[in-house]
């Protein structure tokens, strides 16, 4: 009897082991692994920015990073090289500029996301609405991609300097004319190494750079790509250059004679950043300047902190509630006909989602978060100002620039440099210089276009 009972017990135990083993095998079989391929500049950097966090949340989705080093060869047009790269490597997730996003969407090369968003009840309501509007506008009413972050400029001001010299602090929606008029209220005397400037950028600002900034805010373009005509000799461009020249000539704009910082120690570098050192009343910059201010405090032993403020702007006087200086950082989309679209979509949802935003909200290294409500402040400074202006759709992207041959720029810039130097030396008026630039530049553009056509016909 005892032996029979023992045999029964052994049989039960054996069956238990077998069933446990079968159950274990069955569980492993139900876990379905998936994968997708993504194009990115560097695998290690991708892991830091996105990959490691995604893997923690989705351990059963494998990612293959296809590095984009081969695109930047300089031997052919970048946009063609990008299209060839995607065609050859077949990544599931692509990273595009807004220009190429619009182009690829129009050509049917991207997967529409609206259906997936509706299927998964994915919340895009707290993503910066203006960015969604841009993406839909560029996608002919449909959404083909999402961007976790973006860059936007604002006007920073040194509140201590404004108080010291009795100048009213800036306000949201200032134009370049107002900014320069305000800058002129600060003293221009003193040694270049110690004096205060009304306005300055990181490395100084020449007449051409300031004029280009003014023109960019107003949406001016020096080439009409529909007619392939240079349109620099216009009243709007003349006004932009006149405003820039008068500002630089007044001495209120930081424009170092030696070109600013070239090399040296970290202390030398910070000394060259006038706003950081409290010597510039105003500057325009992205949110990254906040990180630089923090770094300067922690790096320089004798650093003297100051009170500063941030306002929205500069703006085009014709559209004071909009900005042409808002740009996507990394725009992710899924390639049409991707065999791994579901896995790729999980990635897009994650890096544009709330959990990812919470984790990234403590840093500004990758720009401002598109998912609103998480990056409310940085080091006690409100970031709301960067969300105040609506992106100007006319200035969002420059797809037509694909029509301009790359060879044009290297031949055009020396003409600009020569003529503007004559203006600075008071040997030519702005009107005369712009007229010459337009005439000679047009000849260069015509030749570059002709050569490009000949080159393509041979290929």
What pLDDT score does 377 carry? 81
The encoded tokens of residue 285 equal: 């910059």
Same domain membership, residue 186 and residue 44: no
Same domain membership, residue 67 and residue 193: no
Residue 449 lies in a domain: no
Same domain membership, residue 126 and residue 38: yes
What percentage of the chain exceeds 70 in pLDDT?
88
Residue 366 lies in a domain: yes
Which domain-ending residue is among 323, 353, 383? 323
Same domain membership, residue 175 and residue 105: no
Tens-place pLDDT, residues 65-99: 999 987 866 556 778 889 999 999 999 999 999 88
- What's the length of the chain? 459
Instruction: Find the domain containing 84 and state its range.
Output: 34-152+327-395
Rounded Cα gap, residues 28 and 206, in angstroms: 65
Tens-place pLDDT, residues 225-254: 889 999 999 999 999 999 999 999 999 999
Mean pLDDT across 419-448:
96
Which domain-ending residue is among 380, 395, 410? 395
Mean pLDDT across 59-68:
96
What pLDDT score does 127 carry? 95
Residue 189 lies in a domain: yes
What pLDDT score does 361 carry? 87
What pLDDT score does 21 carry? 42
Same domain membership, residue 197 and residue 118: no
Tens-place pLDDT, residues 113-122: 999 999 999 9
Residue 1 lies in a domain: no
Same domain membership, residue 170 and residue 118: no
Number of H helices and number of E strands within the chain?
A: 17, 17
CB 148 within 8 A of CB 95: no
Residue 18 has pLDDT above 50, yes or no: no
Same domain membership, residue 276 and residue 293: yes
- What is the signed CA dihedral for 279, 284, 290, 296, rounded to 10 degrees? -30
pLDDT band for 137, please (50, 70, 90 cuts): very high
Mean pLDDT across 211-218:
95
What pLDDT score does 382 carry? 87
Same domain membership, residue 64 and residue 129: yes
Residue 4 lies in a domain: no
Same domain membership, residue 308 and residue 258: yes
Cα–Cα distances (Å) from 415 to 181, 404, 412, in that order, read 30, 17, 6
Same domain membership, residue 266 and residue 122: no
What pLDDT score does 255 carry? 87
Mean pLDDT across 11-27:
37
Rounded Cα gap, residues 414 and 422, in angstroms: 13
What global pTM score does this model have? Answer: 0.85
Mean pLDDT across 37-61:
95
Residue 8 has pLDDT above 80, yes or no: no
Same domain membership, residue 366 and residue 317: no
Same domain membership, residue 299 and residue 309: yes
What percentage of the chain exceeds 90 in pLDDT?
66
Which domain-ending residue is among 395, 425, 446? 395
Residue 15 has pLDDT above 70, yes or no: no
Total domains in the chain come to 2
- 359: domain CATH number is 3.40.190.10
Tens-place pLDDT, residues 170-201: 999 999 999 999 999 999 998 888 899 999 98
pLDDT band for 31, please (50, 70, 90 cuts): low
Residue 16 has pLDDT above 50, yes or no: no
Other beta carbons less than 10 A from residue 248's beta carbon: 22
Tens-place pLDDT, residues 306-341: 999 999 999 999 999 999 888 888 999 999 999 999
């Amino acid at each position: 009897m005892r032996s029979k009972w023992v045999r029964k017990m052994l049989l039960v135990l054996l069956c238990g082991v077998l069933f446990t083993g079968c159950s274990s095998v069955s569980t492993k079989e139900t876990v379905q692994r998936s994968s997708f391929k993504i194009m990115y500049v560097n695998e290690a950097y991708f892991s830091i920015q996105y990959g490691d966090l995604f893997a923690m949340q989705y351990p059963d989705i494998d990612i293959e990073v296809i590095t984009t080093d081969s695109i930047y060869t300089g031997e052919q047009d970048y946009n063609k090289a990008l299209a060839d790269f995607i065609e050859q490597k077949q990544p599931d997730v692509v990273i595009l500029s807004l220009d190429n996003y619009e182009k690829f969407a129009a050509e049917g090369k991207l997967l529409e996301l609206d259906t997936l968003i509706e299927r998964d009840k994915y919340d895009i309501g707290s993503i910066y609405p203006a960015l969604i509007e841009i993406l839909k506008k560029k996608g002919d009413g449909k959404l083909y991609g999402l961007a976790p972050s973006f860059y936007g400029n604002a006007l920073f001001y040194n509140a201590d300097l404004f108080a010291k010299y009795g100048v009213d602090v800036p306000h949201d929606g200032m134009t370049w004319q107002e900014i320069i008029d305000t800058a002129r209220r600060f003293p221009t005397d003193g040694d270049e190494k110690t004096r205060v400037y009304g306005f300055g950028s990181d490395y100084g600002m020449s007449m051409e750079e300031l004029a280009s900034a003014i023109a960019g805010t107003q949406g001016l373009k020096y080439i009409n790509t529909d007619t392939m005509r240079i349109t620099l000799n216009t009243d709007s461009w003349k006004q932009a250059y006149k405003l820039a020249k008068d500002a630089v000539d007044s001495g209120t704009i930081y424009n170092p004679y030696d070109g600013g910082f070239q090399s040296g120690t970290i202390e030398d570098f910070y000394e060259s950043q006038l706003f950081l050192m409290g010597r510039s009343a105003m500057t325009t910059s992205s949110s990254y300047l906040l990180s630089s201010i923090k770094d300067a405090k922690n790096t320089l032993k004798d650093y003297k902190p100051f009170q500063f403020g941030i306002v929205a702007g500069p703006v085009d006087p014709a559209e004071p509630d909009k900005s042409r200086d808002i740009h996507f950082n990394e725009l992710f989309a899924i390639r049409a006909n991707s065999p791994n679209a579901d896995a790729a979509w999980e990635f897009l949802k994650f890096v544009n989602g709330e959990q990812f935003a919470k984790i990234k909200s403590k840093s500004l290294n990758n720009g401002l978060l598109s998912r609103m409500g998480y990056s409310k402040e940085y080091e006690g400074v409100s970031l709301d100002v960067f969300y105040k202006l609506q992106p100007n759709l006319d200035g969002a992207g420059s797809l037509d620039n694909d029509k301009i041959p790359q060879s044009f720029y290297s031949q055009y810039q020396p003409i600009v440099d020569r003529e503007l130097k004559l203006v600075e030396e008071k040997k030519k008026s702005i009107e005369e210089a712009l007229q010459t630039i337009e005439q000679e530049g047009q000849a260069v553009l015509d030749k570059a276009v002709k050569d490009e056509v000949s080159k393509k016909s041979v290929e």
